[in-house]
Amino acid sequence: MPRGKRISRLLLALTLTAAVAPVGWAAESRFGERDPGPGAAAAAEAAPLEDLTVTTTQVASGLRRPTAIASPDDATGRLFITEKAGTVRVYHPDTGLAAEPLLDLTGRVNANDNERGLLGIAPAPDFEESQLLYVAYTRRSDDAVTLARIDVREGGVEELLTQEHAQYSNHNGGHLAFGPDGYLYWSIGDGGGSGDPFDSGQRLDTLLGKILRLDVGPGCRAGSGSSCVPADNPFVDRPGARPEIWAYGLRNPWRFSLDEADGSLWIGDVGQGSWEEVDHLAADEGGANLGWSCMEGPEVLNADQCDPDADYTDPVFSYPSSVAGCSVIGGPVYRGEEFAELAGGTYLATDYCSSTVWGLRPGPDGYANAEIGEFPTQVTSFGEDENGELYVANDLPGGLHRVSFGTR
């Protein structure tokens, strides 16, 4: 896949050059072999992107500010949906939204202000056996962004990792997802405020403005608060750097996804006011620098934060906030079976304000993109069921919607 690099992009503003590197991924899950699922090789056979359309059907209502959707992949057909205040709801396509929450964490979660709350959820890959859930939230006691593990059978909560985040209420990030490698990925924003006042994006001594990669597999569960750092994380041996970091130079990576077919990482990074961006990293590109706060989207934002020797990775898609929205909501690559012949291998993103849906596909000559429809207003998150079919949840309307594809 073509990889745009801002290798001294600053020589243009401050000659933009492009470097090309192939996608390469080979990893064995910490939880055993994982099937990439139906449709993994469907992109070349899918409908032309300019002909693709997307629609939704509302399947549930009554959610209170939903923030994330995840499947336990336990053959039950259920979806788990987090609500901002701290509850986890359960939806089943046959019975709808359960009246009682699966979990109530409101006593632990600070949901004050618009961006704080229960922000992410990821069932363990062996959830059917272990009944373990991982959640990310802003902690009530001190506003720290917090990763915790919950045994659904017992209800106990183990806090695994925290990052101080008290001064500003925004840019908490908070998404969680397991990759095909079996590791847990967690996004954290830059600490908030305007223009990255802590210089967090380019610093390696803080977890702010990063995507982390953690081993929480069976070998790292002995005792309360246990997690491990994978030995091949990019900064494990760098003095002064946090070893949990997988990618840096991010402002507010509210939503990201990992493609089951190749392990690549897609990131929707919310911009400051000029550009929204989507980044795409191959599975072997740990350590990538996405540029914030030197860069916002394709442009230099703050030359004082730019390093002429840095290797900044370009976004694969960006759009102006003032024209096309206000806050990018990154989605997944569609790998389901029902619409594989139409949309297999297509990455989706939307915007919280405009509701426009974009489809992206990598190819030998770069990334194709097209507007393929609109979603309901204020979508906050995408989710996949155990068959790879897609859902979206929207904020103040509080709905859950199933995604379908067609052609023009």
CA dihedral 94, 400, 341, 351 (to 10 degrees): -170
The predicted pLDDT at position 37 comes to 40
Task: Write the pLDDT tens digit of every residue in 90-144.
Answer: 999 999 999 999 999 999 999 999 999 999 999 999 999 999 999 999 999 999 9
pLDDT of 2 above 60: no
pLDDT of 301 above 90: yes
The predicted pLDDT at position 22 comes to 29
pLDDT of 3 above 80: no
The sign of the CA dihedral 314, 340, 79, 76 is negative
The predicted pLDDT at position 379 comes to 99
Task: Write the pLDDT tens digit of every residue in 376-385.
Answer: 999 999 999 9
Beta bridge partners of 311: 7
Over residues 69-91, the mean pLDDT reads: 99
The predicted pLDDT at position 36 comes to 42
pLDDT of 401 above 60: yes
The first and second tokens of residue 342, run together, are 């139409």
The predicted pLDDT at position 221 comes to 78
pTM of this structure: 0.91
DSSP character for 215? Answer: B
CB within 8 Å of 352: residues ≥ 6 apart = 325, 326, 327, 328, 329, 378, 379, 380, 395
The first and second tokens of residue 242, run together, are 């946090």
The first and second tokens of residue 183, run together, are 């590791």
CB 91 within 8 A of CB 400: yes
pLDDT band for position 222 (50/70/90)?
A: low
Q: What average pLDDT does the chain have?
A: 91
Ordered structural domains, the chain, with CATH = 2-12+63-342 (2.120.10.30)
Task: Write the pLDDT tens digit of every residue in 163-186.
Answer: 999 999 999 999 999 999 999 999
**Percent of the chain, pLDDT > 90?**
86
Task: Write the pLDDT tens digit of every residue in 4-60.
Answer: 554 444 443 433 333 322 222 223 444 444 344 433 445 557 999 999 999 999 999
CB 371 within 8 A of CB 360: no
The predicted pLDDT at position 227 comes to 80
pLDDT of 339 above 60: yes
CA distance 121 to 186: 10
Task: Write the pLDDT tens digit of every residue in 189-214.
Answer: 999 999 999 999 999 999 999 999 99
Q: What are the CA-CA distances from residue 162 to residues 41, 208, 390 (Å)?
A: 38, 11, 30
**Percent of the chain, pLDDT > 70?**
88
CB within 8 Å of 233: residues ≥ 6 apart = 213, 243, 244, 245, 246, 286
Q: Up-side HSE of residue 335: CA atoms within 13 Å toward CB?
A: 22
pLDDT band for position 225 (50/70/90)?
A: low
The sign of the CA dihedral 357, 114, 156, 245 is positive
